[in-house]
Amino acid sequence: MHNQYTDFLLRLPDVKTKQVLEINESTLHIEVTPIAVRQACPCCQLTEHVIRKGQNRVRRIRHLGVGGQRIYLLVPAIRLFCKSCDCGFVWNYSFVDPGKRYTKAFEQQALQTARVATVKQSAELHFLPNSTLHHKHEQWLAIESKRLQKQGWKEAASMSKLVLGIDDFAIRKGQTYNTGIHNLRGETLLDIFPGRRLDELRIYAKQSPAFLALRPVAVVMDLAPYYHTWIRECFPEAIRVADRFHVQRYVVEAVQSIRKSITPTLAPQAKAHLKAKHRLLNPRVESLSVEKQEELRDILGYSALLKQAHAWKESFSRWYDCSPNVHTAKQWLHHWLVQGKQIQHPAIMLCLKTIKNWKTEILNYHRCRGTNAAVEGRNNRIKAFQRRHYFTRNRERYVQGLLVECNYAHYG
């Protein structure tokens, strides 16, 4: 291979290939030499009085692989001396830090692999000691998470129409929870703190002046009373919006409850068919394929009550999508509540009670059409991160990893 082609593959600006010393099935050794004749003194920043004063040794430095082979650069450690400053120093290369055995590009590639997998898997992929990569990854994670979080808070503080999203996610289902604060307009995760009870939320607000300094126009959350109480205390002027996904889930669950109540009254074949296709009741009809719509019509034909409840659920989705303003939405919601009351089923009545209790927050969706859809997707990424890292016990590393996981694609 000609040296100029080797230089093109290496892409190292301040050295050139001297010769290829060793090639085998998995390893490639390349001897390089500096392009420049002299290097400036680190004290006076001049080259006129700098002379070479021997060569200590050859540095063996790992670089990015090419064609499935591991590449090692044999770099001369040239000793230099400045006669003006009367100081000695060693030739500095831009692609590798002093005293390091890996180029900056190789370290960055290994760290990026560890970000989307695990440190152990990345170390095995790049043939690195697990402890070495783990130490480097911890250092990178601390710096990168701090940078991303600082940038996220700065963007949120400067937004004129900031919309926040508040939601919790489980570390251990039913026992331990974390709460995440999200910038819905900026599509970033601002912070994570432990707990979701009202006293834990208030403690976080007292310890986080940056959070209280925000001026959101709206905050989107589920129907948990402690979140609404907390946001009312922290941001009394902000619009509190009930998340559409959580509200519609109450309606869908009411329809499924009716489906369960009528199942025992059906014939065995119809009962089995309805149970097998019960998930078709959840999505909107327009989102289903023609074949799925035919199957939905079949199962709705088993009960007039189920068909009436499903039509009631579909009208609620249309209310969300088609209401042009709050005044019209309020009138349409009243008609929808009357329509549900006519069904006269306990599950429907319980759902209507919930909707009436949170009527103001639900109607606020038409003042600020914000949802926690992106937050729910981010929660899925968080759960995948937790499974991938086996629920990291170090709280600081855990939070740093989640901040990088959720924000790196936006700010990276």
Amino acid letter for position 144: E
pLDDT digits (tens, 9 = 90+) for 290-323: 999 999 999 999 999 999 999 999 999 999 999 9
Long-range contacts of residues 405-412, Cβ cutoff 8 Å, at least 24 apart:
405/115, 405/381, 406/188, 406/189, 406/378, 406/381, 406/382, 407/148, 407/149, 407/152, 407/188, 407/189, 408/115, 408/144, 408/148, 410/186, 410/187, 410/188, 411/147, 411/148, 411/151, 411/152, 411/188, 412/148
What backbone torsions phi and psi does residue 189 show, to the nearest 5 degrees?
Answer: -95, 120
Q: Where are the domains of the chain?
A: 3-101, 154-243+371-411, 244-366
Q: Is the pLDDT of residue 189 over 90?
A: yes
What mean pLDDT do residues 76-87 have?
Answer: 89
Domain 154-243+371-411 has CATH 3.40.50.620: no
Determine contact, residues 340/315, Cβ cutoff 8 Å: no
What mean pLDDT do residues 202-227 have?
Answer: 94
pTM here? Answer: 0.81
Q: How far apart are CA 352 and CA 159, in angstroms?
A: 37
Residue 49 CB partners (closer than 8 Å, separation 6+): 41, 82, 83, 84, 85
What is the end-to-end Cα distance of the chain in Å, rounded? 36
Q: What integer pLDDT is reported at residue 214 of this predicted model?
A: 94
Q: Is the pLDDT of residue 393 over 80?
A: no
pLDDT digits (tens, 9 = 90+) for 333-347: 999 999 999 998 999
